[in-house]
């Protein structure tokens, strides 16, 4: 039998081990939704443009007994286009006094200039809530 043919099973095993190793590494280093959201807020906070907006509502959602989610709902305009968005501020409650957020409250909105519908009102190092 040809010497090269004898190496094929070893090459197949090596390829399977490499594939399995890459798969395990990828799963262990996959970012959680919270990490991705924190990175999005950070990116917009650092590089976003600011426009004027208005808080429309603050909503509390019950998560079927596993906690509560606070959403800040707001409106803003960019280049003549009106946007209405919400931001989950559950983990940023220390930055926002929900009792002072009333309908019509002016706010500064930071948005991604390449995708204006991607926006925030609050981040770990910035808040657009005006009191």
* Band of residue 83 on the pLDDT scale cut at 50, 70, 90: very high
CA angle 79, 128, 110 (to 5 degrees): 35
pLDDT score at 1: 55
* Band of residue 99 on the pLDDT scale cut at 50, 70, 90: low
Number of domains in the chain: 2
Q: What is the CATH number of the domain that holds 51?
A: 2.40.50
Q: How far is it, in rounded angstroms, from Cα 33 to Cα 31? A: 7
The DSSP 8-state label assigned to residue 32 in this structure reads: P
Percent of the chain with pLDDT over 90: 45
CB-based contact 105:128 (threshold 8 Å):
no
Are 105 and 118 members of one domain? Answer: yes
Are 68 and 14 members of one domain? Answer: no
Q: Which domain holds residue 37?
A: 33-127
pLDDT score at 2: 66
Residue 80 has pLDDT above 90, yes or no: yes
pLDDT score at 98: 65
Are 20 and 43 members of one domain? Answer: no
On average, the pLDDT of the chain sits at 87
Are 39 and 26 members of one domain? Answer: no
Cβ density class 4-17: b for 16+ within 10 Å, e for less: eeeeeeeeeeeeee
Give 66 or 34, the one with higher predicted confidence. Answer: 34
Q: Which residues contact 56 (CB under 8 A, 6 or more apart)?
A: 73, 74, 75, 84, 103
pLDDT score at 47: 95
- The mean per-residue pLDDT over the stretch 74-83 comes to 96
């Amino acid at each position: 039998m040809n010497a090269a043919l004898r190496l094929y099973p070893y090459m197949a095993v090596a390829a399977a081990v490499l594939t399995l190793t890459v798969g395990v590494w990828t799963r262990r280093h996959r970012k959680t939704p919270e990490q991705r959201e924190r990175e999005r807020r950070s990116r917009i906070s650092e590089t976003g443009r600011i426009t004027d907006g208005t808080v429309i509502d603050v909503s509390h959602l019950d998560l079927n007994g596993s906690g509560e989610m606070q959403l800040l709902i707001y409106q803003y305009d960019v280049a003549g286009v009106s946007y209405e968005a919400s931001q989950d501020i559950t983990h940023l409650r220390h930055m926002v006094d929900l009792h002072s957020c009333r309908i019509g409250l002016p706010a500064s909105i930071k948005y991604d200039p390449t995708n204006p519908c991607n926006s925030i009102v609050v981040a770990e190092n910035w808040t657009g809530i005006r009191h």
